[in-house]
Amino acid sequence: MLVRDAMSTMVLTIGPAHTLRQAARLMSERRVGAAVVLDPDTYGLGILTERDILNSLGLGQNPDLETAGTHTTTDVVFATPGWSLEDAADAMSHGGFRHLIVMEGTEPTGIVSVRDIIRSWAPARRATAATTLAG
């Protein structure tokens, strides 16, 4: 299976000036665990995840004052739709993160998460197990 088969095509894009509360509200409304942060004036594309927001809250920071830009990961590994899910899972496990921005050319076209990969693999694993038990 390929990343294009598992990725979410709903890409939430926010700016670096969004507060963490605004980002959390948008992520919650769209039921996504990460937002692409677009800042063409500095680093281009980055990612803000629910974990970034939790870490800020855990430090006692004010989500109404903290901005996405100060909590964005800019050293991002990007996937392409043609990557295998194994390649995506390997990149995530080696990098210690749970989301990959999927790029086609210069545009983000999706996000693939560990959860997306598990959802894609689970039916195939069940079918393999059923075939093995029947044989």
For residue range 17-44, list pLDDT tens digits in order: 999 999 999 999 999 999 999 987 876 8
Mean pLDDT value across residues 98-126: 88
Mean pLDDT value across residues 42-51: 89
Q: DSSP letters along 50-100, please?
A: HHHHHHHHHTT--TTT-BHHHH-B-S--EE-TTSBHHHHHHHHHHHT-SEE
Residue 99: beta bridge partners? Answer: 113
- Looking at residue 39, its pLDDT comes to 87
pTM: 0.84
Element (H, E) at 110: strand 107-113
Residues 6+ apart with CB under 8 A from 110: 3, 4, 7, 8, 9, 11, 81, 101, 102
pLDDT for residue 130 is more than 60: no
